[in-house]
Amino acid sequence: MFKFPGPLLFTVKVWKPNDVEAAKNGTKLARGSNFQCLMSGTPMAGDYIKAEGNAGRMSARLMAIVAEGERGRVYLAPTLEHESAAIKTIPTWLPEGETPAQLTGGGAQANRYGLKTWASLFRPRQLIAMTTFSDLVQESRDQVERDALVAGLPNDAKPLRDSGTGATAYADAVAVYLACGMGRAADYWNSNATWEAGGGFVAHAFTRQAIPMVWDFAESSPFSDASGNWESTCMDWVARVVENFFPANGGVAAMSDAQTQAVSADKLVSTDPPYYDNIPYADLSDFFYVWMRRSLKPVFPDLFATLAVPKAEELVALAYRHTEGKVGAEAFFLEGMTQAMHRLAEQAHPAFPVTIYYAFKQAESDGAEGTTNTGWDTFLAAVIEAGFAISGTWPMRTERGARSIGIGTNALASSIILVCRPRAVDAPTATRRDFVTNLKAELPVALAHLQRGNIAPVDLAQAAIGPGMAVYTRYAKVLDAQGKPLSVRDALALINQTLDEALAEQEGDFDPDSRWAITWFEQVGFDVGEYGTAEQLSKSKNTSVSGLVEAGILASKGGKVRLLKPNELPDDWDPTTDKRLTSWETVHHLIRVLEAGGEGAAAKIVSKLGAKAEVARELCYRLYTLCERKKRAAEALSYNGLVQSWPEITRQARENESIDGTVRESQTTMYGQE
């Protein structure tokens, strides 16, 4: 796998390209075939590349070297000596185990291209570095124990695994911290670590929960001052965690099976359960486990007794672990989660709720029965079957916007915390009509409350589950017209339908031009449409195409019309002088200035809008929902981004108003003195 690639069929040179855009794309094609041949320009299909990789005919070429110069980084063309140095040493030990053949989450996966073992994810000298540092963990542990004895720590020979406190346990603890540093090293010293061109540093491999196929990677020196080095990238971060431990608070960590665990009756319970089939933690953990086992098996022989992480009992719904496929996986998850929830319901403190974090996006399928998701259906069914009633939802900002999955996507910004209490033993039975009636009465109020709290549009459907399921779970049963219990899936579909109706009803707050634009946007987006259709729609919205053009939101020419995109709107727009101000226009001007000039630029417009700005923010929720339904990710991202930036925009707007007020007062005083 690590053989020298053979005769040099092409030469790598470092210089500024004539065609910058072509250089950015490299040999990757926009659509159709995956790549084109560097020598002939012939397109190559993905299956061909995978076949070559699985046949062992795929290797790597050194493309460039980044060095520190007097005035910054210097990019150098590689030489044969540099490339030979990278591969001439053959490691004497390789981590055992195979990379998972099936992973959820989408995207290209390394296993499909022939990288089928954990060892194949590392280049030869990366393996040498990893094995050398792993061996040094034990050497360091032994030296620490000797130093601790010299320093006067008791020599009780009781190891850390047996709650020892002497020199032996102290040395074991240091070995654990060093092994944690090895985990960070594994994340950086592999062939999936990429070069972050914008910041000029090596980025770690696990930017998301997957092992993708990476076509160009960066290799950092463990002894450099750059990212990926042993001292600052690996051990400094471990040291920061250790320094912030607070043993005086009496915190205790213990591992137990969620389906059989015991919780003291005087403890509050807050849990973050597995997200159905979203992340195969045990499969991915093997990447780190094979290295930690090498370093820590002498310290924790029982914990590292197996060659790989145990997987059979992991409470996730992965079809490939069950002979019955998806059906078996769903049954396994439902049974296990129900048992785990039962344990919590039985042991939870009666005076306090159980809180359950669930950052799993719900709106993934939109069939005839409405928006539903098997992961949410199954999880909520387990919670309800355990005897819990859901009394509310707390959206909590837990996700970092700069994480890889969050950049340029509509990934959840918050975890949704379900607030659960035991359901009353005398809970009544209700009909489907009773449920829908109460849902329509209570969900719009909860929706308005969530919007006032500035929940991100991407999180709104998740957060609405709580108030909706609070109605559903206050009953022992909800019966449909045939007298059969209404399933959680059907209840979720009704909740999402009611949410959509509540958002649609908010359109009454908008001006006629904006109501026309919303309907038109739902039908054609920013694409071109027929003038006659637009004019007919305008009559029902009490406006006209000519008026929409005058309002500055529509272009009309040659019998065709289209909504203007934010980047097509005039830069000199001033809401205080706009004679036909619309909520639609306001939203898209705010998006334009936010994306071009940041929150400060948007704050200047909000200062001029006054109370009208809030109506524009409300419109973003409606537009985001339409974009989600129509799979318009780019537009959805803009509407979500504006709402997420709203607290900072309004804060700066208030500061601007305060400063302007101070200036006006000063000017008045000065004129009075004159």
Element (H, E) at 144: helix 124-150
CA 151/CA 157 separation, integer angstroms? 15
CA atoms within 13 A on the CB side of 555: 12
Predicted local distance difference test score (pLDDT) of residue 304:
94
* 248-262, 288-302, 397-411, 414-428, range with the lowest pLDDT: 397-411
| pLDDT, position 451 | 84
What residues contact 522, with CB distance under 8 A and at least 6 apart?
626, 630
Backbone angles phi, psi at 542, to 5 degrees: 60, 45
Per-residue pLDDT for 371 more than 50?
no
- Whether residue 381 has pLDDT greater than 70: yes
pLDDT (0 to 100) of residue 404 = 40
Task: Report the alpha-carbon distance of residue 532 to residue 603 in Å, rounded.
Answer: 38
Task: Return the structure tokens found at 3.
Answer: 């053989």
Rounded distance, CA 183 to CA 237, Å?
A: 11
Q: What is the DSSP letter of 249?
A: G
pLDDT for 479 equals 93
CA separation for the pair 472, 435 (Å, rounded): 7
Stretch 367-385: mean pLDDT: 67
| Continuous segment of H or E residues that includes residue 492 | helix 488-505
Whether the Cβ atoms of residue 384 and residue 486 lie closer than 8 Å to each other? no
Distance between first and last Cα of the chain? 87
Residue partners of 371: CB distance under 8 A and separation at least 6 = 362, 363, 365, 461, 492, 493, 496
Structure confidence at residue 315 (pLDDT): 87
DSSP, residue by residue, 409-445 = S---SSEEEEEEEEPPTTPPEEEHHHHHHHHHHHHHH
Structure tokens at 647: 């607290």
- Assess whether pLDDT exceeds 80 at residue 316: yes
- Distance CA(293)–CA(271), nearest Å, equals 28
SS3 551: helix
Using left for φ > 0, alpha for ψ between -120 and 50, and beta otherwise, residue 91 falls in: beta
Q: Please give the structure tokens belonging to residue 475.
A: 């009953």
Whether pLDDT at 466 is above 50? yes
Amino acid letter for position 155: N
Which of 13-17, 361-365, 645-649 is least confident?
361-365
Strands 370-372 and 72-76: unpaired
Phi then psi for residue 301, to 5 deg, are: -60, -35
How many Å apart are CA 674 and CA 557, to the nearest integer? 57
33 pLDDT band, cuts 50/70/90, is low
Phi and psi of 613, rounded to 5°?
Answer: -65, -35
Task: Specify the higher pLDDT residue, 656 or 473.
Answer: 473
d(CA 593, CA 362): 31
Element (H, E) at 616: helix 612-630
> For a pLDDT cut of 70, what percent of the chain falls above it?
87
Give yes or no for residue 106 having a pLDDT over 80. no
Comparing 619 with 357, which gets the higher pLDDT? 619
The DSSP code for 28 is B
- Go through 132-155 and write b for each residue having 16 or more CB atoms within 10 A of its CB, e for each that does not: ebbeebbebbeebbeebbeeebee
**Is the pLDDT assigned to residue 295 strictly greater than 90?**
yes
Percent of the chain with pLDDT over 90: 37
Q: Which residues pair with 431 in a beta bridge?
A: 479
Neighbours of 566 (CB within 10 A): 18
Q: Is the pLDDT of residue 131 over 90?
A: yes
What's the pLDDT score for residue 661?
53
Asked whether the predicted pLDDT for residue 141 surpasses 70, the reply is yes
pLDDT band for 235, please (50, 70, 90 cuts): very high
The Cα-based distances of 258 to 263, 290, 311, 437, 552 in angstroms read: 10, 25, 15, 37, 59
pLDDT in tens, 181-190: 999 999 999 9
- The mean per-residue pLDDT over the stretch 490-496 comes to 89
List C-alpha distances in Å: 320 to 316, 317, 323, 329. 11, 9, 7, 8
Distance CA 274, CA 209 (A): 13
Helix or strand (DSSP H, E) at 622: helix 612-630
Q: How confident is the model at residue 366 (pLDDT cuts 50, 70, 90)?
A: very low
Lowest mean pLDDT among 75-79, 456-460, 471-475, 596-600: 456-460
Helix ranges, 556-611 (H): 583-609
In this prediction, residue 234 carries a pLDDT of: 93
Rounded CA separation 616/645 (Å): 13
What are 188-232's pLDDT values in tens digits?
999 999 888 777 888 898 887 788 888 889 998 899 888 899 999
Residue 229: predicted pLDDT: 93
Q: pLDDT grade, residue 529 (50/70/90)?
A: very high
359 falls in which pLDDT band (50, 70, 90)? low
Average pLDDT of the chain is 83
Q: Which of 316, 296, 315, 318 is nearest to 305 (CA)?
A: 296
For residue 407, what pLDDT is reported? 37
Residue 526 — very low, low, confident or very high, per pLDDT cuts 50/70/90?
very high
CB neighbours of 360 closer than 8 A, spacing ≥ 6? 275, 276, 278, 373, 375, 376, 379, 412
Number of Cβ within a 10 Å radius of residue 572: 5
Chain centre distance of CA 511 = 36
Q: How many CB atoms lie within 10 A of CB 31?
A: 4
Sign of CA dihedral 586, 588, 590, 593: negative
Give, for 356, the enclosing helix (H) or strand (E).
strand 354-358
Higher pLDDT, 365 or 60: 60
SS3 483: coil
Cβ proximity of 214 and 404 under 8 Å: no
Token code pair at residue 664:
């006006």
* Residue 423, φ and ψ in degrees, nearest 5: -70, 140
- The encoded tokens of residue 19 equal 């065609």
- Alpha-carbon distance 7 to 16, whole Å? 26
CA distances from 403 to 207, 381, 515, 625, 634 (A): 7, 31, 36, 23, 18
Task: Name the pLDDT band for 271 (thresholds 50, 70, 90).
Answer: confident
User: For residue 165, what are the contacts with CB-CB under 8 A and spacing of at least 6?
Assistant: 154, 156, 158
Q: Name the residue with tokens 């034990």.
A: 138
Q: Are 417 and 395 in contact (CB under 8 A)?
A: yes
